[in-house]
Structure 1
Amino acid sequence: MTKQFLTAQETSLYFFNGKVSTALIYRLAAKRDLPSIRVGKRLLINLDQLKVKYA
């Protein structure tokens, strides 16, 4: 089973190979430049939409 959502840290490490900080991930999500949702305090980024936008 594959993951459909990544945390900000996972997005930074695995999708952007650590070249983008987690702080930038949070800022991009706040500006709606990243496809994301909030579950409580946790930010989750939709992996499929992220691939479409940045791959």
Structure 2
Amino acid sequence: MTSAYESLKEYLSNRMRMSHIYQPVMIRQILLNGDQITRREAAQAFLAEDQSQIEYYEK
């Protein structure tokens, strides 16, 4: 049986597609927050990476 680390590494290396920002953002937030994240924290993390929203508020 593979470890959780090896499973995550395999997923990130071979199966995850970077076409959607939510995948790497969610993984980063979960890792940073000790395997727990609230809906609000997830929403804030997504918003912080949304380039169109950043540009809108810069104007």
Pairwise TM-score range, normalised by the shorter structure: 0.3 to 0.5
Question: Please, what TM-score do these two structures have when normalized by structure 1?
Answer: 0.33
Looking at CA atoms only, which structure, 1 or 2, has the larger radius of gyration?
A: 2
Q: Which has the higher contact order (CA 8 A, sep 6+)?
A: 1
Higher helix share: 2
**TM-score (norm. length: structure 2):** 0.31
